[in-house]
């Protein structure tokens, strides 16, 4: 089967309307010239600043003759809040993905595939253990170079996983010669698609996507129609009652060199970002410490700030270490020993496997604060410790919010970091947690 590279109706119409495309050549050659004094400068065409326009121009897949497309159009268009959520999340990554799809001359529909896979949620995790915006299962992720270890899961890395997904899709297209079949194989595996094709070939039945769809599982039968439905909504949002929020056609993030190990919270502070926003651009790190990452992604306007702050930072970059937990240890006991709550210990350690009594099913490493055992336990978590006999009404306090740092709090209240540490019995490695109250001078 030969590969198909056809423009869709919308892209074809745009091509006809593009400057320099004519049904017949002009009668006389026209010399290019600058706008004359009699022309309105506003009439000179400028690039469209909306990324959706760039995406629309790259659509290339043909329409599917199946009622499933209309069903999914109705489903998505009846959930504008769902569309808003995936646009909000996707706006961080979409420009990068579009650039990579364009470089490979792939249909731009592929840039919308994370909508179907994960709604652009990099921490999406399926029952089949698929992870990231492209939903790689562990084995396929490893086959395409996505490292998965105790510190990180590169299936969630935006740059690495996008490269792996496009490599995989190109290989599937080379195998089947058809993008719809490649997409089906991306969802259910090339073996299932190949068997469905072989079954139809023996019986003289069509071997295109719609022809083999009845031989595939329901999820795959709906997979490409879902993508075409999303494409149709993006093509004409008002027709579906959707207000598609504009996404700027400019890069959002860039890479900066990362230290060998650094607390995620500290890295976010150095970039002038909340921890939540930093993690959204660097979701591969599964621990409170980012280790072994050559680079971090930060917004373009934060890159120089991060570099300057990292160079000037004279405090420890890491405040967590590993604890060798034994099989059968109770999570509550480990948390108490390190002066954490069980919830804090769980938050610092993803995918803990516990029995019904809250004991570890297997031995392994856990992240715990440095110096959090024995006499140094007070250094593990930032806590306000009022002096004995001091009246509560006389103490000025501040409640820590997500993304706060001692440096930022000290600046806000015109004091020093050392003063705050002294007032609250905090060590240099102390970690601030939302909800904790700090005494102020």
Active site residues: 117
CA-CA distance, 41 to 129, in Å (whole number)? 56
Burial of 227 from C-beta contacts in 10 A (0-12 / 13-18 / 19+): buried
CA-CA distance, 65 to 210, in Å (whole number)? 8
SS3 408: helix
Q: Show the DSSP H helices in 58-157 as ranges.
A: 67-77, 80-90, 94-103, 113-118, 138-143
Compute CA distances 74 → 211, 236, 242, 293, whole Å: 24, 14, 11, 42
Cite the beta strand spans of 226-372 per DSSP E: 253-257, 261-263, 289-291, 295-299, 320-325, 364-369
Tokens standing for residue 120: 């652009």
Q: Which of 285, 251, 267, 265 is nearest to 157 (CA)?
A: 285
Greatest distance between any 2 Cα atoms in the chain = 97
- The three-state DSSP-derived secondary structure of 154-208 is CCCCHHHHHHHHHHHHHHHHHHHCCHHHHHHHHHHCHHHHHHHHHHHHHCCCCCC
SS3 398: strand
CA-CA distance, 144 to 60, in Å (whole number)? 26
H or E segment and range at residue 397? strand 397-399
């Amino acid at each position: 089967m030969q590969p198909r590279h056809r423009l869709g109706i919308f892209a074809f119409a745009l091509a006809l309307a593009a400057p320099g495309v004519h049904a017949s050549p002009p009668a006389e050659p026209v010399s290019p010239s600058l706008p004359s004094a009699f022309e309105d400068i506003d009439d000179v065409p400028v690039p469209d600043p909306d990324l959706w326009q760039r995406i629309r121009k790259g659509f290339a897949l043909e329409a599917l003759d199946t009622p499933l497309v209309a069903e999914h159009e109705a489903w998505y268009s009846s959930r504008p809040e769902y569309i808003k959520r995936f646009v909000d999340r996707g706006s961080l990554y979409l420009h990068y993905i579009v650039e990579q799809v364009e470089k490979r001359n792939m249909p731009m529909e592929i840039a919308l595939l994370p909508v179907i896979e994960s709604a652009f949620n990099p921490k999406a995790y399926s029952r089949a253990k698929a992870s990231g915006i492209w939903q790689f299962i562990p084995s396929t992720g490893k086959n395409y170079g996505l490292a998965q270890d105790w510190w990180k899961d590169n299936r969630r890395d935006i740059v690495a996983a996008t490269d792996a997904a496009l490599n995989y899709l190109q290989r599937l297209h080379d195998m089947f010669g058809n993008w719809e079949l490649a997409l089906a194989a991306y969802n259910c595996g090339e073996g299932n698609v190949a068997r469905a094709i072989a079954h139809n070939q023996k019986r003289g039945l069509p071997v295109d996507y719609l022809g083999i769809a009845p031989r595939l599982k329901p999820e795959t039968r709906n997979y490409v129609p879902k993508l075409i439905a999303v494409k149709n909504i993006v093509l004409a949002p008002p027709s579906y009652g959707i207000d598609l929020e504009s996404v700027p056609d400019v890069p959002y993030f860039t890479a900066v060199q990362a230290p060998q190990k650094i607390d995620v919270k500290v890295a976010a502070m150095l970039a002038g970002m909340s921890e939540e926003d930093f993690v959204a651009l660097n979701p591969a790190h599964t621990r409170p410490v980012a280790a072994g990452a050559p680079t971090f992604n930060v917004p373009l306007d934060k890159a120089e700030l991060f570099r300057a702050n990292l160079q000037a930072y004279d405090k420890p970059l890491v405040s967590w270490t590993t604890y060798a937990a034994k099989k059968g240890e109770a999570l509550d006991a480990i948390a108490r020993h390190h002066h954490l709550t069980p919830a804090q210990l769980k938050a610092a350690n993803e995918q803990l496997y516990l029995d019904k009594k809250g004991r570890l099913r297997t031995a392994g490493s856990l992240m715990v604060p440095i110096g959090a055992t024995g006499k140094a336990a007070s250094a593990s978590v930032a806590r306000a410790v009022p002096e004995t006999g001091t009246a509560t009404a006389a103490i000025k306090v501040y409640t820590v919010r997500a993304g706060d740092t001692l440096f930022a709090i000290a600046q806000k209240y015109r004091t020093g970091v050392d003063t705050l540490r002294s007032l609250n019995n905090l060590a240099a490695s102390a970690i601030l947690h939302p909800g904790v109250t700090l005494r102020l001078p």
